[in-house]
Chain A
Amino acid sequence: MTLKNALMTGAALATLIPAMSAQAAGTLDNVKEKGFIQCGVSTGLPGFSAPDDKGNWSGLDVDYCRALSAAVFGDPDKVKYTPLSAKVRFTALQSGEIDILSRNTTWTMSRDTDFGNFVGVMYYDGQGFMIPKALEVSSATELDGAAVCTQTGTTTELNVADFFRSNGLNYTVVAFEKYDEVVAAYDSGRCDVYTTDRSGLAAQLPKMSKPEEHMILPDIISKEPLGPVVRADDAAWEDAARWTLNCLVNAEEMGVTSANVMDMAKSDDPNLQRMLGAEGALGSKIGLPDDFCAQVVAGVGNYGEIYERHVGTSTPINLERGLNALWKDGGILYAPPMR
């Protein structure tokens, strides 16, 4: 009686595991097999990755995952998002819970060797400070004795420790797990200073109950190249991820936009033909369709379009391109050629 019952219960339970599928292959094959990309994003940072009130995700980091989806499937919407706090993100990546981590993550040497491989830089950033204007502070070196709000498990948390230590300044750090908690705490006066990447500060500023009473200090205390990460054991998937990113940048450089990509693919320029897959077989070398780059641009636009859509000067976040302009426009954005 018990055995039969157990078997029946087991069979019933098995139907409850719809996503269960077993195969020991690379991430790219796994992704193709299951039909979607599991993308690790933040728990909500406007402009980079944040859900709207319908639960739809959008932002710079989200669009990178959508670009990857377009490259693999020809459809930018085959992505599922896993919101991760900063401190669990690498565990989720290493365990295989997510396929790619696109969560404004700073590229450092130890992370690159310990946790996975960075595929490139999505956004060049630096760490800054937000402070109430009433404090009349003009430089970060005046912050002796301040209470600092930040997020646990970030380079920010380490940089701020280094900064205060090397400048011989006292401080207390209050480290929260989620962006919203940090913002709420700083906004309610728990800390004097809020520190994170400057893009993050710009993104959070409109969330303050009185945005006009806060300012971002001019100091930049660190280099924060933010980019997507994949697991270290998977060269094919890493290539797919890397060249999707490079495709976004190259497309902007060559003037390919979501509006004109189909016309451009027919152009006579051999560079364009190779990149957009009209000629050669660049895509199939990395297990993607030959026209993957055309699909990416058609699906989400080029880097410039994505930037302007989510964090550019026409958005509430209002970030100049700055370092993130193309190398020929005075920035440092530079992608290897696709040939």
Chain B
Amino acid sequence: MAADSTGSNTPSRAVFWRDPSKRALIFQFIVFALAAWFVWVIVDNTATNMRNRGVATGFGFLDIQAGFGIIQSLIPYSEASSYGRAFWVGLCNTLLVAIVGIVLATVLGFLVGIARLSPNWLLAKVATVYVETFRNIPLLLQIFFWYSAVLKPLPGPRSLHEAGDQVFFSVNNRGVVMAEPVFGAGFSWVLWALLAALAGTWFIRRWARRRQEKTGQPFPVLLTGLALVFGLPLLAFLLTGMPLHFEPAQMSRFSLRGGVTIIPELIALLLALVVYTAAFIAEIVRAGIQSVSHGQSEAAQALNLSPGQALRLVIIPQALRVIIPPLTSQYLNLTKNSSLATAIAYPDLVSVFAGTVLNQTGQAVEVMAITLAVYLLLSLLTSMFMNWYNHRIRLVER
């Protein structure tokens, strides 16, 4: 409170409303009282209205049997599961879209952002057209568009397969159907091998960096790492007698059964979210790279770094500091935008919980409170993680 310190310097005999610190106190008190009154009125009205209209309250509904089916669930769920379970199904589906969407949008966004700065004229133009097209069209429209574009032109499973067919891979208007991997007894060895390879790579990287700092001799960490990460599990896989086979989907009278299905709603939603968000990320990346002064890349050149090395070791680490904060907002936006899933029947949190469950139970206040809390929590967690990351890569000035 700087107002305090300035206030205490003035002669203390001033009338109290001329004293900035006291005035600030009074003003704050009024603001606080108004805010508290406002909240109280809302809460009181809601409670009164709910009591008068006989609306049920409490969170007991979470244990009641849901009774409806959900098209996609990452955790076991059936019609006999509870509303609480349905909540987790919806949350998992939201997280699935958010995480996959963030990864893909980041990759595409970086590619397009770098392409916009490419010396290749045509590529730069194509990237510009992409960015300007997709970020200026409403996301909801893009979701509708992709849903019709993904769904409608694809053939139905019946026109592709005969009843009884064994199908290993199929793209039809029920989604992308793949054979389901079945892991045999020894497969855990492969996972252990992968884990060992990852750990090994980490140690090698540490060792290589120390050696380079001491002696200046580089070590091909990337190649060794790749060889380890791919080779070791493969070796384990072969040694344990290939404990993995693929169970094909089978064509029934109506559609494919078994296998792993990626539903078209998910595909359409992901396409729309990724394409839309990547356009924004591309602009962020471009601005970030352009913010690194030209002297840096010239200096890198003078040190005889290759263009790739210059990008990797000099430009990107500095650009990232500019890129991270707006990138965080884009990640948050993508997560929140995934709630538009409700427009195309993808069972996300808003669609399943704030939609179907709310309707079945009628407990709008509780359901909405939980839903909002989840989104606020997700946004808080993302911000915290990105702040931590931002702090880690901040410029250390010496």
Q: Which A residues fall within an 8 A CB radius of B?
A: 86-91, 94-96, 114-115, 135, 142-147, 152-153, 157-158, 160-162, 165, 170-177, 181, 185, 188-190, 192, 231-233
Contact = CB atoms under 8 A, between A and B. Distances in A.
29 contacts: A91-B364, A94-B362, A115-B362, A145-B252, A145-B255, A146-B254, A147-B255, A152-B345, A152-B351, A152-B355, A153-B356, A153-B359, A157-B69, A157-B356, A160-B69, A161-B68, A165-B79, A170-B257, A172-B69, A173-B71, A174-B71, A175-B347, A176-B344, A176-B345, A177-B343, A181-B343, A189-B173, A233-B52, A233-B53
B270 to A, nearest CB: 17
Contacts of A232: 53-54
Interface in B243-273: 252-255, 257, 264-265
Nearest to A156: B68
A173 B342 contact: no
B151 interface: yes
A13 to B, nearest CB: 16
B252 A144 contact: yes
B358 A91 contact: yes
Across the A-B interface, the 9 shortest Cβ-Cβ residue pairs: A153-B359, A87-B359, A173-B69, A145-B252, A161-B79, A146-B254, A192-B254, A189-B156, A176-B345
A114 B356 contact: no
Contacts of A176: 344-345
B294 interface: no
B394 interface: no
A181 B359 contact: no
Contact of A175 (B345, B358, B361): B345
A114 B56 contact: yes
B359 A175 contact: no
A158 B67 contact: yes
Nearest to A158: B67
Contacts of A90: 359, 362
B227 interface: no
B77 to A, nearest CB: 12
B211 interface: no
A130 to B, nearest CB: 14
B259 to A, nearest CB: 13
B253 A144 contact: yes
Contacts of B152: 188
A170 B53 CA distance: 40
A147 B256 CA distance: 10
B212 interface: no
Contacts of A158: 67-68, 360
B55 interface: yes
Determine the interface band of chain B, counting residues with CB < 8 A from chain A: 35 or more
Nearest to B152: A188
A276 to B, nearest CB: 34
B54 A145 contact: no
A91 B366 CA distance: 12
Contacts of B22: none
Interface of B: 49, 52-56, 67-71, 79, 148, 151-152, 156, 173-174, 252-255, 257, 264-265, 342-345, 347, 351, 355-356, 358-362, 364
Nearest to B54: A232
A190 B261 CA distance: 14
A110 to B, nearest CB: 9
Given A94-B362, A95-B364, A232-B54, A174 B67 contact: no
Nearest to A115: B362
Nearest to A110: B360
A86 B265 CA distance: 20
Given A153-B355, A161-B79, 8 more contacts: A94-B53, A146-B255, A152-B359, A153-B360, A157-B68, A161-B69, A173-B71, A176-B345
A176 B79 CA distance: 17
Contact of A172 (B71, B344, B355): B71
Nearest to B72: A172
Nearest to A175: B345
A147 to B, nearest CB: 6
A185 B345 CA distance: 10
Nearest to B48: A24
Nearest to B68: A157
Contacts of B55: 94
A171 B83 CA distance: 20
B392 to A, nearest CB: 43
Given A161-B68, A175-B68, A176-B345, A188 B362 contact: no
Which of A160, A185, A232 has its CB near the most chain B CB atoms (within 10 A)? Answer: A185
Nearest to B46: A95
Given A95-B364, A190-B151, A135 B68 contact: no
B255 A152 contact: no
Nearest to B354: A87
Contacts of A86: 359
Given A90-B362, A94-B53, A233-B54, A147 B68 contact: no
Given A88-B359, A153-B360, A145 B79 contact: no
Which of B55, B68, B253 has its CB near the most chain A CB atoms (within 10 A)? Answer: B68
A34 B351 CA distance: 34
A10 to B, nearest CB: 13
B54 A87 contact: no
A177 B69 contact: no
A193 to B, nearest CB: 8
A234 to B, nearest CB: 9
